[in-house]
């Protein structure tokens, strides 16, 4: 999805396939590109280690570069990096080798991975299990289990519906605004929200590997968090709940061991206005802060 004006050059991808959500037409990576990008992953970890960070997270999900190599929908290569899953994992494995080397055992390496891409023709759970086993073998310290594809099924990640009218008001390109106005709910199709919406798939990964796993997806209440942790996950991750309710975890800790119900669930109503504001630098929950003028009706 990277635009040339932002990335400083034409976007790179496993295969040169038009991305309607950009809209961009990326260039297929050649062996030199692959070597250079793999080295960049390693250098990023070196910088994090030198800066004193305890951990890094390699993003191998959500339709970003490693995820594009893994997905049969975006990887149409006919060389050693495309075709069967073993070859589609090659780029990921080269990245992991460089990352683990750069970490030197001093920095924990987490990897965020998809359990499903969220659309027909993408990665499904059976392949995700093999990806998880391979990452365990290749030295990942923990996996963060997610799903969805920002350029094909973005709401599979967050669930609920995207307020496309708000998103359109923030875009400077009139063609993108028009496209959202006409086809927004088709291009960014909603997925129903429920607590712990990734838990069933995540439990299948839990049964397949022995490494620590982090659960993400609809853990926005004490009951949902306890349920996830009760299935053997070492931690839960959240974002929208804390944008709406920054004191949520503190309130849970304060109520721990008591009969109090205050703070048992975050106040987030999963309206996704925060996600619609992704094209601004004013990231906030609209319940907590007045929206910028151009967001107001």
Integer angstrom CA distances of residue 15 from 31, 94, 106, 147, 265: 13, 18, 35, 21, 43
Map residue 152 onto helix, strand or coil.
coil
Return all residues near 150 (Cβ < 8 A) that are at least 6 apart.
Answer: 1, 21, 62, 63, 64, 157
Four-CA torsion 59, 140, 214, 117, nearest 10 degrees: 40
Helix (H) or strand (E) segment spanning residue 99: helix 90-103
Q: Which two tokens stand for residue 207?
A: 């049964």
State the pairing for strand pair 213-216/12-13.
unpaired
Phi, psi dihedral angles at 37 (to 5 degrees): -70, -40
What secondary structure letter does DSSP report for 231? T
Q: Are 1 and 11 in contact (CB under 8 A)?
A: yes
Calpha distance 169→167 (Å, rounded): 5
Q: Are 120 and 114 in contact (CB under 8 A)?
A: no
156 is catalytic: no
What secondary structure letter does DSSP report for 129? H
Helix (H) or strand (E) segment spanning residue 35: helix 31-50
Q: Which of 64, 156, 193, 215 is catalytic?
A: 64
Q: Are 211 and 140 in contact (CB under 8 A)?
A: yes
Sign of CA dihedral 12, 17, 21, 25: positive
Residues marked active site are found at 64
């Amino acid at each position: 999805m990277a635009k040339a004006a932002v990335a400083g050059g034409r976007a790179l991808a496993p295969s040169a396939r038009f991305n309607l959500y950009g809209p961009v037409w990326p260039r297929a990576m050649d062996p030199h590109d692959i070597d250079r990008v793999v080295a960049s992953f390693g250098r990023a970890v070196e910088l994090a280690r030198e800066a004193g960070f305890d951990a890094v997270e390699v993003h191998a999900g959500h339709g970003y570069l490693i995820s594009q190599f893994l997905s049969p929908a975006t990887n149409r290569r006919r060389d050693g990096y495309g075709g069967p899953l073993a070859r589609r994992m090659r780029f990921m494995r080269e990245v992991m080798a460089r990352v683990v080397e750069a970490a030197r055992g001093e920095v924990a390496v987490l990897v965020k991975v998809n359990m499903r891409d969220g659309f027909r023709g993408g990665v499904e759970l059976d392949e995700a299990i093999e990806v998880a086993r391979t990452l365990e073998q290749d030295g990942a310290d923990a996996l963060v289990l997610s799903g969805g594809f920002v350029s094909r099924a973005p709401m599979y990640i967050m669930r609920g519906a995207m307020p496309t009218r708000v998103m359109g008001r923030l875009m400077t390109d009139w063609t993108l605004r028009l496209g959202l106005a006409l086809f927004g709910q088709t291009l960014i199709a909603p997925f129903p929200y429920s607590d712990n919406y990734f838990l069933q798939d995540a439990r299948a990964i839990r049964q397949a590997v022995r490494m620590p796993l982090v659960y993400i997806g609809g853990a926005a209440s004490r009951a949902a968090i306890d349920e996830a942790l009760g299935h053997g996950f070492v931690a839960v991750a959240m974002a929208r709940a804390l944008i709406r309710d920054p004191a949520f975890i503190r309130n849970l800790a304060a109520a721990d061991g008591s009969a109090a119900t205050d703070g048992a669930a975050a106040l987030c109503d999963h309206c996704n206005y925060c996600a619609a504001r992704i094209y601004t630098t004013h990231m906030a929950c609209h319940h907590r802060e007045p929206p910028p003028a151009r967001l107001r009706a």
